[in-house]
Amino acid sequence: MKLTKEQIEENLACYKQAMETGTVEGIESSDKGDEWMPKRDYRFCYGVIYRRKPAVTLRPWKPEEVPLGATVRWKGVGPWMGTITGRDSAGVCAATSWLHYDQLKESCEHTFDGPKAIANGTATWLLCGVEEGR
């Protein structure tokens, strides 16, 4: 099978990314409908199609994705917290403040863990947005 110039360039980029970060993905050429899987075998086996792993990006929530009832706070700190009680096309209501979706994505995190977990520091804080590219 003869490779095109673009395929050769993509393969070289895959080799480079595999050696630097280990974030290459592959799929068996016979399994065209299956998902891309992480590949740690840098020998680039016959019958496997490789690609660079896409970068994960965070996009703001859409109004219908906002987790009503979650507790929100500024990232890494804790002096301001509030429960998400409302949303519209402009932003989210948490406690007595309205926060824009971009502001939430950049500066806030949220949890579904209760007040006890928050108070004793065992709450799991999540990003305020949706990760794409996983």
The answer to whether the predicted template modeling score (pTM) of the entire model surpasses 0.85 is no
Tell whether the model's pLDDT for residue 23 goes beyond 80.
Answer: no
Q: Report the pLDDT averaged over residues 19-36.
A: 70
Residues 48 and 64 in one domain: no
Residues 92 and 108 in one domain: yes
| pLDDT score of 89 | 92
Residues 48 and 71 in one domain: no
The domain boundary residue, chosen from 14, 31, 53:
53
Tell whether the model's pLDDT for residue 2 goes beyond 70.
Answer: no
Total tally of structural domains belonging to the chain: 2
Residues 29 and 46 in one domain: yes
Q: Report the pLDDT averaged over residues 90-101.
A: 90
Tell whether the model's pLDDT for residue 1 goes beyond 60.
Answer: no
Residues 87 and 118 in one domain: yes
Tell whether the model's pLDDT for residue 48 goes beyond 80.
Answer: no
Residues 100 and 77 in one domain: yes
Give the mean pLDDT of the chain. Answer: 82
* Interatomic CA distance for residues 66 and 84, integer angstroms: 8
Residues 78 and 125 in one domain: yes
